[in-house]
Amino acid sequence: MAVIKLDKVSKIYDAGKIPVQALNQVNLEIEAGEFTAIVGPSGSGKTTLLNIIGGLDRPSSGDIEVGGVDVDQLSDNKLIDFRKDHIGFVFQSYNLIPVLTALENVEFVMLLQKRSRKERLERAKELLQAVGLEDKLDKRPSELSGGQQQRVAVARALAPKPSFILADEPTANLDSTSAGNLLDIMAKLNAQEGITFVFSTHDPRVIERARRVVTLVDGAIASDVRKSEPVQ
């Protein structure tokens, strides 16, 4: 079952006098449980594609369906609610709230969902344990390494039980060991719990682990390769 469907999606930015076509007639379906890398040179449209899938930007033309919902037809307020409940984000810059602890950062989206304190605490602790940070619950971002902060970000993305996770260059600011540990965790969550991951990345380590690699060139899909098995 496809959790993401893009039909002839284009995005044009009006940058001064010369329009810039970031995406050009993209057709793409992502199935539940996939571990997919979106790759391509700088300026190829990777981040724009992820932002449009995640409802952080809107297409100039084309249709986007996420979990059976035409997200490009939602009002801004309904789109915010939809993102909160259905899409998890992991960003290159972590985007943790500095004054909150690791536990509180993971809880935050569930607080917006108006879940009970008991449910929030139980799920946040469970997720931080899953990413190997059960001993860092009370640490603020400034007290954590980059790799640990990104693992908190993964736990936070999983907290609302989203339909899928969008990860934009999640390993870009990490050293080799931290990046490897993070990828191990995400691959395990994908394999054992069927969580769908879609990456925008330049990192060959992510590309190596992916079971599907979609290459963008000048805003269009140049190739779409599925591997029979992930490389460990």
| One-letter identity of residue 168 | D
Task: Identify whether 231 is part of a domain.
Answer: no
Which residues 6+ apart lie within 8 Å of 152 measured at CB?
94, 96, 102, 105, 106, 128, 131, 133, 136, 141, 144
pLDDT on residue 232 = 44
Task: Identify whether 141 is part of a domain.
Answer: yes
pLDDT on residue 230 = 47
Owning domain of residue 26: 2-226
pLDDT on residue 229 = 55
Distances (CA, A) of 35 to 88, 118, 122, 148, 222: 14, 32, 27, 22, 19
Task: Identify whether 37 is part of a domain.
Answer: yes
- Which regions in the chain score pLDDT beneath 70? 229-232
pLDDT on residue 72 = 87
pLDDT on residue 110 = 92
Which residues 6+ apart lie within 8 Å of 62 measured at CB?
6, 7, 8, 9, 10, 25, 26, 72
pLDDT on residue 193 = 86
CB atoms within 10 A of CB 143: 12
pLDDT on residue 17 = 75
Query: What is the Cα–Cα distance from 57 to 55, expressed in whole angstroms?
Result: 5
pLDDT on residue 94 = 87
Tokens describing residue 102: 């690791």
Task: Identify whether 232 is part of a domain.
Answer: no
Query: What is the Cα–Cα distance from 171 to 109, expressed in whole angstroms?
Result: 23
19-39: per-residue pLDDT in tens? 889 999 999 999 999 999 999
pLDDT on residue 1 = 77
Q: What is the CATH number of the domain that holds 195?
A: 3.40.50.300
CA 141 to chain centre: 20
165-175: per-residue pLDDT in tens? 999 999 988 88
List of E strands, the chain: 2-15, 18-31, 35-39, 61-66, 69-70, 87-90, 164-168, 197-200, 212-217, 220-226
Which residues 6+ apart lie within 8 Å of 129 measured at CB?
none
Residue 166 contacts residue 198 (beta carbons within 8 Å): yes
Task: Identify whether 186 is part of a domain.
Answer: yes
- Structural domains of the chain, count: 1
pLDDT on residue 231 = 43
| One-letter identity of residue 142 | S
Which residues 6+ apart lie within 8 Å of 87 measured at CB?
54, 55, 66, 162, 163, 164, 166
